[in-house]
A and B are shown apart, each in its own frame.
Chain A
Amino acid sequence: MPEKQRASLMSAGAALMFVAFCANLLLRAKPHIFSSTAHANIVSDAASDDDDSCADTTELAMAMTAWKQTQQRRTAPDSPTLAESAPVGGDIAPARSVADSYASLHSVAVDADANRVFMSDSNRGAIFLYDRTAGDNSSQMASPNRVIRGPGTGMMFVAGISLDPVNREVFAVNNDIGDRMEVFPYDGEGNIKPNRVLSVPHGAWGVSFNRTRQEVAVSIEHPNMVVVYRREARGAEAPLRVLHGPETELADPHGIVVDTDHNEMLVANHGNWAPLTREEEESQGGLKGGHFALPSINIYTGEAQGDAKPIRKIQGPRTQLNWPMGLNLDPVHDEIAVANYGTNSILIFRRNTNGDLAPIRVIKGDRTGILGPMGVAIDTKNDELWVTNYREHSAVVFSRTASGNVAPKRVLRNAPPGTPAVGFGNPGAIAYDSKRGEILVPN
């Protein structure tokens, strides 16, 4: 059996270990749902995935080694204990593991003129390039034309991406690990060094290239900030402008998109806010404490900096905003698309919406194939709308005007159908629920 196929099946088995639960970024797994012997039983003669260039083929071998070692340990006489000798333990293989060997598609960007679609993978730190027409309605996996991935790339927990079609460059920012923006050539492939690297503040999520001003805007979660750099900035170069402060009403910013036609900047906010330091708290009048605000899309002028107020704000119960992630703009039809993770939907607003107004269209429902939407991109040239799913190994393509519970025109799969997405994204803690025999993991 080809290694790739076995790796795929291994991934499916490992992911099945992960009980289907993902809410508020808290994930649970049953430690004993799969015994370690199940690793050996996952291998089957199912159809080959020869096109798969995404899975890490070393994982099955590692799992088998682990299984054998654990079986030996379980049948061996009692080992020395902590009380008897030191140190004990060592290079112990896990009895079981849960990891996703396939990409977790994060953001998406389309260059319609070049017929290219780029997607970032926050799970394995990669950028995938597909043909614009990739995907279909079959169960086949789509093959990327090229993949940028490897230690030389510097990509870690890569999140937002943006394109510069003129200079044929891809901007990518890392969220939470690897505080930098890498810039790759359109035609880059493999374990390459970026064209340039720029240090950015910790917690970058979104990035948007401004072709008119030749600038790059980056949203930063932790300090509630937007930083704007010149296009060719590199190293430790300082930003041209910083948008930060209580009047900005930035609160856990995520997606960002620059509207060059109207010289505006749109930022999606989750609504979480707390002072970053005691000094910041004191500078704002002392005891403030954290708070939860309603999610919002804040719109600023293109030159906004300092503690500038938004010029418009989409916020309120009618908006349906719930964990808004990626944003994109349709300058032709004057619309905004929002990847609304919290309700597995895409919300379309008029560009100049202000206040608590309902979206003009919503793509949502069991036929849409949208599950954990993280990125969204509008292709006005071909009248299409792309969505990357974080909770499923797929991207889905709709007609630009799609609305309601509609099936996508095409599905681009990056894992065999039915392969659950584990959904880990830089997990930082773990707990054991002894009552349910479940392992709890916050992302």
Chain B
Amino acid sequence: MHGIAYDAVHDEIIVPVHLAGAILVFRAGASGEEAPIRVIQGPHTRILRPETVELDLKNNEIVIGEDGGKDVMFFPREANGDVAPLRTIRGPKTGLDEVRGVAVDPIRNLLVVSSRSSTGTTGVFIFNRTDDGDVSPRAIIAGPKSGILRIRQVQVDPEQGKIFVAVKNNVESYRFDSPSPSPWNPDKPGFIGVWNITDNGDVPPRGIIKGPASETVWPAGVALNSKDREVYTIDSVSNGMYSYYMPEFFPPPKH
């Protein structure tokens, strides 16, 4: 499983099962070998290998992103069984390749997608939430100033209009025939980056968590707890979970 989302309204957990082409929905309090309460799976779903998942509670939709499928699909939140998607963003105009993260801004009606590509653009792609088919993104955050080489989970803080991105980077560089000091490229560390949802082009992050003190090597995920002004990340190389107190990322509401 490479994705997860929590539904705070209905108290459910949604996970994609990459190797079985399925989306499972569990009670949030589930424990042990408990069966899912809903399963989206089957030929009519057109799901191939779901990588990441997000909930749009305002519009009552589940959004999934696929790496091999190179697409984003929207299903009714309560979908169960072999059901067709409501909409699918897929095709050459989208620029999407290996989709690693999806997030929705229900205030601005935007969809934020992180996509990695070895032949095209790796970056943050922003679409209209209701886009369908082979459509061009409204904006793409990518390029050397962005610092994005490899990318994974994204989150949106809609109140602030900010995008939080797990920028994995740190391309593996093990060379058997040379005395490589590390299997990783130490010049390209991963980081948590923050951008405005209105950003477009080769824009540097407006906020960042990066460096040896942060302990992250290859941040693969990002989650937000704005109430406690914390950012959480998970690192798939150090096999560690890190919590950062980041008041600068969550300014108190202005009265």
- Which A residues are within 8 Å of any B CB, using their own CB? 21, 23-26, 29, 31-32, 62, 65-66, 69-70, 73-74, 78-83, 86-100, 104, 123, 151-152, 154, 156, 177-178, 180, 193-194, 196-197, 221-222, 252, 270, 272-278, 281, 287-292, 342, 422, 424-436, 439-443
Do A435 and B11 form a contact, CB below 8 Å, given A79-B248, A152-B180, A424-B239? yes
Do B222 and A434 touch (CB < 8 A)?
Answer: no
Flag B2-39 by CB within 8 Å of A: 1 or 0 each.
Answer: 11111010010101011111100000111111100000
Do B234 and A289 touch (CB < 8 A)?
Answer: no
Do A275 and B48 form a contact, CB below 8 Å, given A95-B244, A427-B220? yes
Q: How far is the CA of A154 from the CA of B176 in the complex (A)?
A: 8
Q: How far is the CA of A65 from the CA of B214 in the complex (A)?
A: 10
A-B contact count (CB 8 A): 288
Q: Which of B215, B249, B251 has the largest number of chain A CB atoms within 10 A? A: B215
Residues of A within 8 A of B134 (CB): none
Nearest B residue to A80 via CB reads: B248
| B120 CB → nearest A CB, Å | 17
Q: How far is the CA of A104 from the CA of B246 in the complex (A)?
A: 32
Q: How far is the CA of A171 from the CA of B234 in the complex (A)?
A: 29
Residues of B within 8 A of A99 (CB): 238-241
| A373 CB → nearest B CB, Å | 15
| A24 CB → nearest B CB, Å | 7
Which of B105-113, B121-129, B136-144, B205-213 interfaces with chain A? B205-213
Partner of A274, one of B1, B20, B223: B20
| B77 CB → nearest A CB, Å | 16
Do B4 and A26 touch (CB < 8 A)?
Answer: yes
Do A23 and B206 touch (CB < 8 A)?
Answer: no
Partner of B222, one of A26, A95, A430: A430
Do B223 and A430 touch (CB < 8 A)?
Answer: yes
21 contacts between A and B (CB under 8 A): A26-B1, A73-B247, A78-B251, A81-B247, A88-B249, A90-B208, A90-B210, A90-B211, A91-B214, A99-B240, A104-B239, A151-B184, A196-B176, A273-B21, A277-B48, A289-B44, A289-B47, A290-B49, A424-B234, A428-B152, A441-B234
Residues of A within 8 A of B5 (CB): 431
Q: How far is the CA of A428 from the CA of B180 in the complex (A)?
A: 26
Q: How far is the CA of A177 from the CA of B181 in the complex (A)?
A: 18
Do B230 and A95 touch (CB < 8 A)?
Answer: yes
Nearest B residue to A197 via CB reads: B176
| A48 CB → nearest B CB, Å | 25
10 pairs of A and B residues whose beta carbons are closest in the complex:
A290-B21, A91-B211, A274-B21, A99-B240, A442-B1, A287-B43, A430-B221, A289-B43, A272-B20, A428-B2
Q: How far is the CA of A180 from the CA of B204 in the complex (A)?
A: 35
Residues of B within 8 A of A287 (CB): 43-44, 46
Q: How far is the CA of A91 from the CA of B211 in the complex (A)?
A: 5
Residues of A within 8 A of B152 (CB): 428-429
Residues of A within 8 A of B208 (CB): 87-90
Do A430 and B17 form a contact, CB below 8 Å, given A31-B230, A440-B4? no
| A342 CB → nearest B CB, Å | 7
Do A435 and B243 form a contact, CB below 8 Å, given A25-B1, A86-B207? no
Q: Which of B2, B22, B209, B241 has the largest number of chain A CB atoms within 10 A? A: B241
Q: How far is the CA of A426 from the CA of B152 in the complex (A)?
A: 13
Residues of A within 8 A of B30 (CB): 23
Number of interface residues of B (CB under 8 A): 92
Flag B51-79 by CB within 8 Å of A: 1 or 0 each.
Answer: 01000000000000000110000000000
**20 more CB-based (< 8 A) A-B contacts, given A252-B20, A292-B22, A431-B4:** A26-B4, A86-B206, A86-B207, A90-B210, A91-B209, A92-B209, A92-B244, A96-B243, A99-B241, A100-B239, A151-B180, A151-B181, A288-B43, A427-B221, A428-B220, A428-B236, A429-B152, A430-B223, A434-B6, A441-B234
Residues of A within 8 A of B174 (CB): 151, 154, 178, 180
| B191 CB → nearest A CB, Å | 9
Partner of B31, one of A21, A87, A281, A342: A21
Residues of A within 8 A of B135 (CB): none
Q: Does B194 interact with chain A (Cβ within 8 Å)?
A: yes
Residues of B within 8 A of A274 (CB): 18-22, 47-49
Residues of B within 8 A of A197 (CB): 176
Q: How far is the CA of A361 from the CA of B31 in the complex (A)?
A: 28
Q: Does B255 interact with chain A (Cβ within 8 Å)?
A: no
Do B22 and A89 touch (CB < 8 A)?
Answer: no
Do B33 and A24 touch (CB < 8 A)?
Answer: yes
Q: How far is the CA of A99 from the CA of B160 in the complex (A)?
A: 31
Partner of A97, one of B43, B153, B240, B246: B240
Residues of A within 8 A of B6 (CB): 431-434, 440
Q: How far is the CA of A440 from the CA of B31 in the complex (A)?
A: 12
Q: How far is the CA of A292 from the CA of B247 in the complex (A)?
A: 44
Q: How far is the CA of A177 from the CA of B235 in the complex (A)?
A: 12
Q: Does B85 interact with chain A (Cβ within 8 Å)?
A: no
Residues of A within 8 A of B209 (CB): 89-92
Partner of B241, one of A87, A152, A424: A424
Do B227 and A434 touch (CB < 8 A)?
Answer: yes
Do A290 and B233 touch (CB < 8 A)?
Answer: no
Within 8 A of A (CB), among B189-229: 192, 194, 204-215, 220-225, 227-228
Residues of B within 8 A of A31 (CB): 225, 228, 230, 232, 243
Do B22 and A428 touch (CB < 8 A)?
Answer: no
Do A440 and B233 form a contact, CB below 8 Å, given A88-B248, A99-B240, A429-B221? no
| A75 CB → nearest B CB, Å | 11
Do A290 and B241 touch (CB < 8 A)?
Answer: no
Nearest B residue to A176 via CB reads: B236
Residues of A within 8 A of B31 (CB): 21, 23
Nearest A residue to B70 via CB reads: A278
Q: How far is the CA of A191 from the CA of B180 in the complex (A)?
A: 11
Do B49 and A178 touch (CB < 8 A)?
Answer: no
Do B69 and A278 touch (CB < 8 A)?
Answer: yes
Partner of B3, one of A78, A221, A429: A429
Do B19 and A194 touch (CB < 8 A)?
Answer: no
Residues of B within 8 A of A277 (CB): 48, 68
Do B52 and A429 touch (CB < 8 A)?
Answer: yes
